[in-house]
Structure 1
Amino acid sequence: MKINEILIHHGNDMKEMAKCLLKHSEVEKEIEKNSHVGIKPNLVEAKPASTGATTHVELVEAVIDFLKEIGIQKITIMEGSWVGDSTEDAFHVCGYKKLAKEKRVELLDLKKDTYITKKSYEGDLKVCEAPLKVDYLINMPVMKGHCQTGITCALKNMKGCIPDFEKRRYHQMGLHGPIAAVNTIVKPDLILVDAINGDLTYEGGGTPVPMDRIFLAKDPVLIDAWAAKTMGWNLEEIPYIQIAEKLGVGSSNIHDAIIWEIGKATRKINPRTLRGEAKDYGEFVDEGNACSACYATLLYALKRLDEEGKLVTIVENLKIGQVYKGLSFPGMGVGDCTSGCDKNLPGCPPEAGAILEFLRKESAKGK
């Protein structure tokens, strides 16, 4: 498979779609029989793939079956969920514990992995050791939206390969630079993107968009550029893609890419319409270096409040994020970092239900 190729398969049978792309790519010529292969899905939290948040276990199963068919015996599924959530719970809820047991493959929680320090464009970065030790790494992200970076796909999925304290620091650093930089350290050999029904507005899922397709590629910059285009974004709106390109991670030149499509599109997707349906709940928030888990959960709660017709009663912006840590502010704050606010909901991160109840009570007072 060439570095500037993207293979796309449309359809409903995920296992057959994945096997077809893997065979078409002739990836078996790259992997030696005694190799240790790592598979990195996106299990950001303990939510089933039907919500649009996590990688379908059926796709990972298809990859494992393919690897075993070509003689690969040592396979490890590895992931570290976002801050505040349990990877072990995600493994269970998303079907990965059952899969690992049935297929006799290793399941590794990267939150428990050792880490090392690597130099990068963004300075010293802490990276989990396991993804660096495998002979061949397969990145299996979900193509979906993100409350802070616009989209998340191949490049951002590598954020699951760092310890939790480093994930928090990435937000202090502005996300885009370190996301690009970590991809100069953790370098997947193959990318299989789950675009079956990703949530195109929120990385934590809840409003899945049926798209019925998967992508296969080798260049994470190219596949993210393609994903951004598919979702209706311009590259200038997703800085980490262009930063990664400048760092030599890959090319964003989708105009000269070789695109192969297999099967028939089962649904017509209008990216601009999809983005237009997403209300900008960020206008109700004063966000300062908030972790994704906290910020996205707040936005989801605001969406729920809006559906109840109570959002209009929020008369002051909600504060959230690490810049407020240790400071005192008037008004409402969400999360432990804003404990100095007059009204605060603690948690790291707080659950969406708790945020919703907090906002309901405050909205009732405002009537």
Structure 2
Amino acid sequence: MNRREIRERIEEFLQDAENRRWTNSEINRYIDDSQREFVRISRYPQISTFVPLSSKSANTISGTAAIDGRTITVTTSTAHGLSTGHFIIVSNQHTYEITVISDTTFRYVGDLPVEPGSFDFLPINPIITVPSNLEEVVSASLDGINLAIMSEGELNAAVFRLSSGGSFLDGVFGVVPNPFTTIKARYTVNTTPKWKERNGSCEAIVYNYASQKDFRIFPIPSHNEDLFVDPTATTKVFKEIELRGLPKIIDAENDATEPIIGQYYQEALIFGSLDRAYSREGQTRNIEKSQIYRARFIELAMEAKMNEGINSLSRSEGRNESFFRVVR
């Protein structure tokens, strides 16, 4: 059904074919809102899209390095386009977080020996923006391998347990050094690993809430083999992460537009719209009607949530046919 057909069925239920109480534009909004709510509850349908590993250029940038101890200050001839918190890859093996001083100057602290003068680096931004057509990410893959989805809290807890296990006790005065451990508690130097600075093959995407509009890649790739589709090519192209998730629902453009949900569940848009239409009325009998249609809408949304997600056991024909064989 397209929007016009759905609206006409709603008007039949409302007994308002001439739009004396509910206008077409009002019912159209109810249809759009119902579809948005249906997708949010049922987690169906889902779409896939791709984003590059970094929003920065895949080309190496040249500058001039000045060294003061372990601090390297880099100056470029033109604007580098970086921000504090971005990273640079040096010598195809180390990543360093930078602090921007000006449009053409930044600094970082590193252990890799660097000679003063000419300095080449590859900029990388570990924060990736979720495409505008995705409302929520449910899965991510790179090179055909599924990536873990983690929160910053998980990683913070993991590195703290790794670095301080047994060194502290949870007492009546809070967390205090454990006097009975043979592990020397380090009071002056914090040795907790900084997971945001770890480099290696990308294994996870990190964000804090489901509808967040960006995420961090972890660890940060530092070798050409982990970064580029073809590391030997002259013109290099970043690898892409495949994101699968719930689509951002946009309002229907015209009456010929069809809903993104399948025919099986389009009746839910009728019930959801009727719920909203009767909720506008102040009479008790109309509120009761609204609740009836609301229950039917939720029933269809939950049915879609239960049936649309499939696995090998949910399909029982052909190769997926379940059987049990007893060998005597």
Q: TM-score range by the shorter chain?
A: under 0.3
Is the strand fraction higher in 1 or 2? 2
Q: TM-score, normalised by structure 1?
A: 0.18
Bigger radius of gyration, 1 or 2?
2
1 or 2 for the larger relative contact order (CA 8 Å, sep ≥6)? 2
